[in-house]
Structure 1
Amino acid sequence: MATGHTDPQRRERILAATLDHIADEGVAGVSHRKIATRAAVPLGSMTYHFSGIDDLLREAFTRFADHIVGVFERQLDHADGPQQVREAVTDLIHTLSEGPRRDLILTQELYTLAARRPEYRELTQAWMGRSRDLLERHFDPDTARQLDALIEGLTLHRALDGAPHGRELTRQAVDRITSISTP
């Protein structure tokens, strides 16, 4: 098998395997051995690329947060004007809630870690800051904060509800929060 120096994708495979493992078994099941097996890399690669499990988890969750921020960017970047932005936020909520179940699980696993451990709380705060910055391109800071909370809450509710609400209810919620805000 190639060494870390001749296998430039090894680190990426380890991070991807970590997120896949967390989505399948949760953070509690993460170990160097399990991730190395899943990534099809030698066990020694784990300590070569990461200083420990926390380093691995922080990097993996940072990659995941980058992915979700990318979803925000794709939905919001081309919106111009208040009504288009409201539609983009509505689309974002539905994209996230109807997207891969894996993303929902990873989000909740990260939130659980953040509730218990300050270093993960910092990661989630940075993630929220980035999503709010994107929303603040269109809304004042208070409205952006409210919308960010709405996006997270409605995404979770829609994803877990046996009969999720439709676009009209989402649109009404977005309209209510943004009706007094001037983009």
Structure 2
Amino acid sequence: MSSNQPPTRRFDPDRKQRIINAALDVIVEHGVQGTTHRRVATAAGVPLGSMTYHFDGMDDLLRMAFEQVAHASSSEFVARLAQAQDREEAIEAIVDIIAGNIWSTPRTLLLSYELYAFAARKPELAAIMREWMQSSREALGRFFDPLTSRTLDALVEGMGIHGSVDQAPLDRHEIEDIVRRICR
């Protein structure tokens, strides 16, 4: 190759998504405050310059990463509720969501904590959380009134959070009892 030719660029159509995924890994390991361009680029295996090429700063990257988390978590919740044909099956779905940790895996919970804290400091990003909650409430609204839907949505998230640190988490029967009390 002649020294007068420009270097060839490698075609990498998945680079942006790889960076977003790496950002989530870095957030899990270091928290939002410890997430830097350099750490994310290293985790994604991309040159540091790719960060500014694909994103308008760290807030843009974090927004896209958290949108991905919210969308994935919401999709699982909505998909499980979509299987329900009536109120009784919806109650069973809610119990499954809570008891089966459908959305509250340790990784998703940690990312959710980070998202809540980040959105509290950056109110313009609170819309991500509001969309997530709205999606859940709409799915619940097929079977429950708006106040019950809101309460059940908060229960699902709250039980996931409590279950992540509780040394004696509730079993499936106790969770079902609580859900049925709310749905009376």
What TM-score comes out, normalization by structure 2 length? 0.91
Distance 2:101 2:53 in 1: 35
What CA deviation, in whole Å up to 9, does each residue of 1:22-76 have, x standing for no partner? 1111001111111000000111111111000000000000000011011102211
Corresponding position: 1:74 with 2:79: yes
- 2:59 aligns with one of 54, 57, 77: 54
Q: In structure 2, what is the equivalent of residue 143 of structure 1?
A: 148
Correspondence list, 1:12-91, <5 A? 12-91=17-96
- Of stretches 88-97 and 142-151 in structure 1, the one that deviates more from structure 2 is 88-97
The structure that has the greater radius of gyration is 2
Q: In structure 2, what is the equivalent of residue 154 of structure 1?
A: 159
Corresponding position: 1:165 with 2:170: yes
Contact 2:81 2:94 in 1 (8 A): yes
Distance 2:118 2:43 in 1: 22
Contact 1:97 1:159 in 2 (8 A): no
What CA deviation, in whole Å up to 9, does each residue of 1:62-115 have, x standing for no partner? 000011011102211111112111010010012337853111100100111122
Corresponding position: 1:174 with 2:148: no
As a proportion of its length, which structure holds more helix? Answer: 1
What TM-score comes out, normalization by structure 1 length? 0.91
Structure 2 unaligned residues grouped into runs of 5+ = 1-6
Q: In structure 1, what is the equivalent of residue 99 of structure 2?
A: 94
Distance 1:98 1:165 in 2: 17
Q: SS at the partner of 2:70?
A: helix
What CA deviation, in whole Å up to 9, does each residue of 1:143-181 have, x standing for no partner? 1111101111111111211121101111111111111xx
Distance 2:104 2:156 in 1: 14
- How large is the Cα RMSD of the aligned pairs? 1.8
- Of stretches 49-58 and 128-137 in structure 1, the one that deviates more from structure 2 is 128-137
Query: Do the aligned partners of residues 98 and 148 (structure 1) sit closer, same or farther apart at CA in structure 2, a change above 3 Å counting?
Result: closer
Contact 1:114 1:120 in 2 (8 A): yes
- Count of residue pairs brought into register by the alignment: 178
Structure 1 unaligned residues grouped into runs of 5+ = none
Percentage of pairs with the same residue = 44
Q: Letter of the aligned partner of 1:156 in structure 2?
A: I
Q: In structure 2, what is the equivalent of residue 127 of structure 1?
A: 132
